[in-house]
Structure 1
């Protein structure tokens, strides 16, 4: 999968089988439909520049730190519900189709896709999901129903990734936004991302134990 510098769409077609998805992530690509709201044809994207978060660069403001304490963070206890929250048809820029949701549900069942969830008073109020390969966490989407709930999930994710202190670990956020920039996300050229990816893939798998995440 190659494209000129600055061109994000690198291929069109193929399928969403687990082997196809994992092979794509290993070369820096991810799927999203080219049509309206993620509809076909299926596109494969490798943004240039790429939004990344080195776990050690996470910025947690004082107010966010207070917010995190209000929530309970869990891992892999409501994966399907997190995907459904991210795919909410009322959201602007929605792109997660039923076919995408089914594909990642299967990846989760196989142990490759994971969710970090934000709960309050027994209700799921935010979260994120993505694919874990070695030291890479390729974030796919996040959502919130309460202020700071998705940010809290990111704080939980980074705490999980930083547990062993391995500097090769990396969070791929696809595209940097101003919102993500306040949390420490930066942009790197695609070729730099591919080098970081190659390094991250040499790290051992993160320990994804389902249940309450204590931070």
Structure 2
């Protein structure tokens, strides 16, 4: 398992880990960083209509490990056992969070990531029903705005994220924004954090 202090410090320095097929951990700091605007989050009109009557229940932090396993349930994944154990420990300490989409008592989609100050580092999402992951991401964006976050780091930008306003910025610009965000006294929820760590 990765040391929690090392892992959180890496995020504060603009780096993040991914597991390799051989069991090793690789660290990344891309020259351009994907972000999803929080204040200017864009929802297509058709999806806005869908949200008014969507069939799902959205929960927070009730099945974090299951969300990670849902994200890892694909042919190729970077969510290895080391990554799974490490982020479940961050969740136990109050730094990692999940937005979960349920239907009929079954977990059908979700997204998870790490929160430090006013920065949220999105890691992965999954969907077992149409629109479930998009609902999870939308509710996550609303929560980040409500709680005062200013950065949602998506690492890279996919065509799907681009439809919601996601884009990439140069690393130097990202780091300036990140260092401002992690100094904010905001939290994802009201759970006490199990580690007294300062990133200011």
TM-score (norm 2): 0.88
Kept in 1: contact 2:36–2:161 (CA 8 A) = no
Distance 1:195 1:93, change over 3 A: farther
- Which of 29, 43, 46 lines up with 2:29 in the alignment? 46
C-alpha root-mean-square deviation of aligned residues, in Å? 1.7
* Cα distance in 2 for residues equivalent to 1:209 and 1:182: 31
Query: Which aligned segments of 4 or more residues in structure 1 are displaced greater than 6 angstroms?
Result: none
Q: Which runs of 5+ in 1 are unaligned?
A: 1-14, 211-215
* Cα distance in 1 for residues equivalent to 2:141 and 2:69: 23
Kept in 2: contact 1:73–1:153 (CA 8 A) = yes
Counterpart mapping for 1:12-91 below 5 A:
16-33=2-19, 35-36=20-21, 39-68=22-51, 69-88=54-73, 91=74
Kept in 1: contact 2:120–2:152 (CA 8 A) = yes
Distance 1:98 1:41, change over 3 A: closer
TM-score (norm 1): 0.82
Aligned residues: 189
Distance 1:146 1:63, change over 3 A: farther
* Cα distance in 1 for residues equivalent to 2:139 and 2:88: 21
Q: Which runs of 5+ in 2 are unaligned?
A: 192-200
Q: Secondary structure at the match of 1:82?
A: helix
Counterpart mapping for 1:20-169 below 5 A:
20-33=6-19, 35-36=20-21, 39-68=22-51, 69-88=54-73, 91-164=74-147, 166=148, 169=150
